[in-house]
Amino acid sequence: MVLITSQSNPRISKLQTLHTPRGRKKSGLFLMEGPHLLEALLDARLWPYEVYYQPDLLQRTHAGRALLERLLHTPDLSSQQLIEVSEQVIEAVSDTQQTQGVVSVLPLNAFTPDAIRRRRAVANRPALLILDDIADPGNMGTILRTALAANVALVLLTPNCVDWFSPKVVRAAAGAHLALPVESNASWDIIELRVAEHAPGRVLLAEAGSALYYEQDLRQPFALVIGNEAHGPSSAARALATSTISIPLANNVESLNAAMAAGIILYEAVRQRH
């Protein structure tokens, strides 16, 4: 096993660059932090490029001890891929205030839409989700987690969306990256093409003051657009939309959080299908 105790070690310096979009793009790698996500990776047989772990922190819980035992006895991970580090080093690599003792390094190319589709069971998935310049990492991660739970077919991200591989998004998505097809940096020409393939003529734009969402037939294929938190939908989104839908709001509430709005509408589609 490799042991690293210095924060100035070159491998640790490289890991810290993965907290930035530039570092992720240059290396082709990103980070997943925490035992739960590593467990999900191992269950899916998605082997990390490297795993940095702090045994004392993991051994504080029964689940952590079980994961450490499993990690050290996974034949598909070599001793060079498993790097034991000191508490100071794992804290330097961590993106959280209180680290849980393990950080996985993964290749970006294992999480392309096509790669995820190949791992996905065949199912009827009427919803296609378009995120139009979503800026907040927490919102992005929560929407992705909800989209996976609601069995969305595909998520399309416009170029000005927050990077969906940023540590805060990965953490909030809670494993959605493993099983949800996401196409990022999608131009509106590409989005229009994907809509034509999935749900021609049915692009619903979430916006206040329009037809109520539960009055729509969401059992048939449709695309749903969720706009930017501060500025709402872009002009390109409005041009593509075939109709607008809204969520009724009482007590002079102007709007809902983008992730909440997406969840309400996507789960109305789930309710109608069942």
pLDDT digits (tens, 9 = 90+) for 26-63: 999 999 999 999 999 999 999 999 999 999 999 999 99
Which of the listed residues 110, 141, 166 is the one where a domain comes to its end?
110
Q: What is the pLDDT of residue 90?
A: 96
Q: Is residue 187 domain-shared with residue 95, that is, in the same domain?
A: no
Q: Answer whether residue 140 shows pLDDT above 80.
A: yes
Same domain assignment for residues 72 and 128: no
- Give the mean pLDDT of 230-238: 94
> For the domain that residue 96 is a member of, what is the CATH number?
3.30.1330.30
65 and 17 share a domain?
yes
Indicate whether 266 and 155 sit together in one domain.
yes
Name the residue range of residue 184's domain: 113-273
Asked if 66 and 183 sit in the same domain, the reply is no
Percentage of the chain beyond pLDDT 70 is: 100
For the residues 193-205, what does the mean pLDDT come to? 95
pLDDT of residue 255: 80
In this structure, are 43 and 90 located in the same domain?
yes
Residues 61, 119: one domain? no
Q: What is the tally of structural domains in the chain?
A: 2
For residue range 104-118, list pLDDT tens digits in order.
999 999 999 999 999
Query: Mean pLDDT for the chain?
Result: 95
Domain boundary among 110, 133, 160: 110
Contact between residue 101 and residue 29 where contact means Cβ atoms under 8 Å apart: no
103/129 same-domain check: no
Same domain, 147 and 253: yes
Query: What was the pLDDT predicted at 253?
Result: 84
Domain boundary among 110, 141, 157: 110
- Residues 208-216, mean pLDDT to the nearest whole number: 87
61-81 confidence digits (pLDDT tens): 999 999 999 999 999 999 999
Q: What is the mean pLDDT of residues 167-196?
A: 97
Same domain for 67 and 126, yes or no, is: no
pTM across the whole model: 0.93
Instruction: Report pLDDT for 208.
Output: 78
Partners of residue 269 on adjacent β-strands:
none
pLDDT at residue 209 is higher than 80: no
